[in-house]
Each structure stands twice: as structure tokens, then as C-alpha cells.
Amino acid sequence: MRIYIPTRGRLDKQITLRSIPDSLRPITWLMCREDEADALRDRYGVNVATVPARPKYRIAQKRQAIMVHAARDGVERVLMLDDDFVFLKKGLKKDPAAKTPYSMYNQTGDDFFDMVADVAEALRDYAVVTCAERNRCHTYVPDKKGRAYNTRVNGFIACRPSIILNEGFRWDELDIMEDFNMMLNLYRAGYESAVLCDWIWGQRGVSGAAGGCSTYRDQAVQAKAVNALKALHEDFVRVVEKETKGGWFGGKRLDCQMYWKKALASAPSIIKPERLERWDFL
């Protein structure tokens, strides 16, 4: 298994990388543009993979490059994390007024290791695995294993590159919202996903912080992606107008609502990927 962190313009602010314990650094790679590689390698001493330093190579292109990079080395499982994440774990409820039926606590290095191990284990049976998104924890309905299924997956994306490459799906089919497009493609093909609800991730600050997608994402880029997603998945995407409250570009924007379970229900059949027999991930 490998952990990949797509990054751009954040040479001095690798928030996600700070959470990764030393035991997992050997399987951790930063995916960046060629013109940032030496600075990142020298500053953080981690593995670095690159894409060309061209305007068209954005996060979607980096995700596609990650699939190829991992498959080339025979890596069966990949965890992709945005570079500005914080990580928490589920605990007992303390605040009766809290939206969620439990409290959240910051992860330790050992917790992070255990989270990655749980993700790797779940990937033995699923094409895609994620953990609970902090802002949506109240929406999950976990089963006795603490898992929810077949819902939104973005930002924290664990997957099996061979499935995506063999199906011919591409992360770079869209410049942004590439994670939504990929999940709709997978669901419509019959692949399922799992959410590990005991582990939680969130973004540090608001969307649109310096670096990352803020270097190119504006209202026009957003609207183009929304309309393209609708065109690709007509029956499973509803275009809406939303008010941005902090982050990105402020004001009203085009956005969309996705019908994940409806997309899965449209598949000819449910595909159960061949189970990965190896239990270890290091």
C-alpha cells in the first residue's frame, strides 16, 4: 500500500504530512509538479513523484498519474489525501447538544497507523474506501462494523488502481470535481464503497486557502465542471445554486447534488472485486 499526497504551492505548509507517523513515511509519496520536487524532497525528506510543470497538470491529472505510478510498481492499494487535512477519531459523547451522537478527538501517530491499517483491510473487498468527513458525520448510518456504504467520497480516497485502470476510468476526465465523476462512474458500473465511521478527517481552515486548487478554481471553472458532470451523468446529478460561506470565491456559485445510491441501483449488477489475499499493508 502507498499513501499519496497531491500538493501544489505549499512548500512550507504540509499539514497532512505532519500527521503521518515515521513508521508510514517509507510508503508515503508527495505528488507534485517537477518545479517543486527538489524543494519538497529537501525540506521533508520523503518520496516525491512528479507531473510536468504545466498549467493543465492539476489535481485531477495528479490523481491519474498516481494510478499509473502505483500500478507500475505493482501497488495494489492506494490512499490519496489532500495536503491540508486533520485527522480525528470517534469517542464517547460528551456534549448533549452536539450534532453527532459522539465526540471527536485528535488522532495520535498510533491512531493514524491503525486508521491506515483499517483502510487497507477494507480495500481487500471494496474498490474504494474512505473515512467519515467531519462536516458530514451526522449523515452516516453505520452498521455493526462501524461502516456506511455507497455514499459521497472525496478528499480522503483509498482505492485499488487496477480496478480503475482496467475499467478505463480516468480521474482527469474533468479538471475539478474529478472525485465525484469517478465515484459516479464506479457506482454506475456496479462497484461499491465503504466509509469507516470510527475514523474522521477534516480540512484545516476553509476551502480556497493559498496553494492547491485556489490557483485556478474560480466561478467559471466551477460552473464548467458542474455542467460537464451533469452531461456525463444526466440522471444522477442535479444542478443547484449555492451561497459560498467562506472559502473559494464567495457569493453564489453553481454546484450539484449527486444521487449516489440511485447511480449504484442503475448498474446491471453489483461487482464484487477479487478479494486481496494479503492482509498486511507495509
Look at phi and psi of residue 229 and say left if phi exceeds 0, alpha if psi is from -120 to 50, else beta.
alpha
Which residues lie closer than 8 Å to 76 by C-beta, 6 or more apart? Answer: 1, 123, 160, 161, 162, 276, 278
Is residue 226 in a domain? Answer: no
Among 208, 201, 205, which Cα is nearest to 253's? 208
Is residue 166 in a domain? Answer: yes
Q: What are phi and psi of 200, to 5 degrees?
A: -135, 140
Print pLDDT tens along the chain (282 aa): 999 999 999 999 999 999 999 999 999 999 999 999 999 999 999 999 999 988 888 899 999 999 999 999 999 999 999 999 999 999 887 777 777 778 899 999 999 999 999 999 999 999 999 999 999 998 999 999 999 999 999 999 999 999 999 999 999 999 999 999 999 999 999 999 999 999 999 997 545 555 445 555 678 888 999 999 999 999 999 999 887 665 555 667 789 999 999 999 999 999 999 999 877 787
Name the H helices within the chain. 15-19, 34-44, 59-72, 109-122, 161-167, 178-189, 219-232, 260-265
Domain that holds residue 132: 2-205
- Cα separation, 7 vs 47, in Å, equals 13
User: What is the four-CA torsion angle of 117, 120, 125, 130, rounded to 10 degrees?
Assistant: 100
- Cut 0.85: pTM above it: yes
CATH number at residue 15: 3.90.550.10
User: What is the four-CA torsion angle of 137, 6, 57, 186, rounded to 10 degrees?
Assistant: -50
User: What is the four-CA torsion angle of 230, 67, 84, 134, rounded to 10 degrees?
Assistant: 60
State residue 249's pLDDT score. 55
Is residue 88 in a domain? Answer: yes
Domain count within the chain:
1
Which residues lie closer than 8 Å to 93 by C-beta, 6 or more apart? Answer: 100, 101, 102, 103
Is residue 256 in a domain? Answer: no
Is residue 218 in a domain? Answer: no
Is residue 236 in a domain? Answer: no
